[in-house]
Amino acid sequence: MSEPVKLSVIYYSATGTNAEIASLLAKEAEAAGAEVRVRRVAELAPDAAIDSNPAWRANVDATKDIPVATPDDVVWADAVIFGSPTRYGNVASQLKQFLDTLGPQWQQGLLADKVYSGFVSTSTRHGGQESTLLALYNTVHHFGGILVSPGYTDPVKFVDGNPYGTSHVAGQGDLPVDDDTRAAAGVQAKRVVRIAAQLLAGKPAS
């Protein structure tokens, strides 16, 4: 029997939206047969900033037992799904800082030939969802990674309307993750696992 796809879901979440989406992706990937690691990147904001927003502090406390991502979580994986809230149409500094620490692994070629994908949340409709994912994917190209976006490969993608990845409008009041986002996450996770499995099946035995 072939070994299961090893998937890392690595994300940053301030107030909990992306933490919930990461969990959804992980569950869908496990249901598709993958071995999954869920990892949060380190928080860079000072306690004063976190404490100024009760939802931010609540999420930090609620997710403190989730392991912090390390470069090994990317090297270990056959596929990686990165997640970030948008910051002015770009990747949040916390996730970007983690990506920037991967230089040694990139130089050794340890990040190439893996499947990569992404998800995002915004406070407003659109709000930089596509530009954040495209900015994230610039890093994938430098890795020599294999970008697997969900595309319009399933009818539910015509509902959420984002072929670049799973996206959610959290709103100013942190709206709950809705059924459209859940369905989109299911499509993305299954597609990532399926394509990664196909690539693994074509690899020569080591």
Task: For residue range 84-125, list pLDDT tens digits in order.
Answer: 999 999 999 999 999 999 999 999 999 999 999 999 999 898
Domain borders along the chain are 6-201
What integer pLDDT is reported at residue 113 of this predicted model?
97
How far is the C-alpha of 164 from the C-alpha of 24, rounded, in Å? 17
Q: Which CATH superfamily includes the segment(s) 6-201?
A: Flavodoxin domain (3.40.50.360)
Q: From 78, 81, 73, 197, select the one nearest 150 (Cα to Cα).
A: 81
Give mean pLDDT, residues 165-171.
Answer: 90
State which H helix or E strand residue 99 sits in.
helix 93-100
Is residue 82 within 8 A of residue 95, CB to CB? The reply is: yes
Q: pTM higher than 0.85 for the full model? A: yes
Query: DSSP states of 164-205 as a string?
Result: TSEEEE-TTTTPPP-HHHHHHHHHHHHHHHHHHHHHHHTSPP
Q: Per-residue pLDDT for 173 more than 90? A: no
Q: Which residue has the higher pLDDT, 51 or 203?
A: 51
pLDDT of 174: 64
1 band by pLDDT with thresholds 50, 70 and 90: very low
pLDDT for 171:
77
**145: nearest Cα among 195, 101, 185:** 195
Q: Express each pLDDT in 18-47 by its tens digit.
A: 999 999 999 999 999 999 999 999 999 999
8-state DSSP, 68:
B
The rounded mean pLDDT for the chain is 94
Write out pLDDT tens, residues 141-167. Answer: 999 999 999 999 999 999 989 999 999
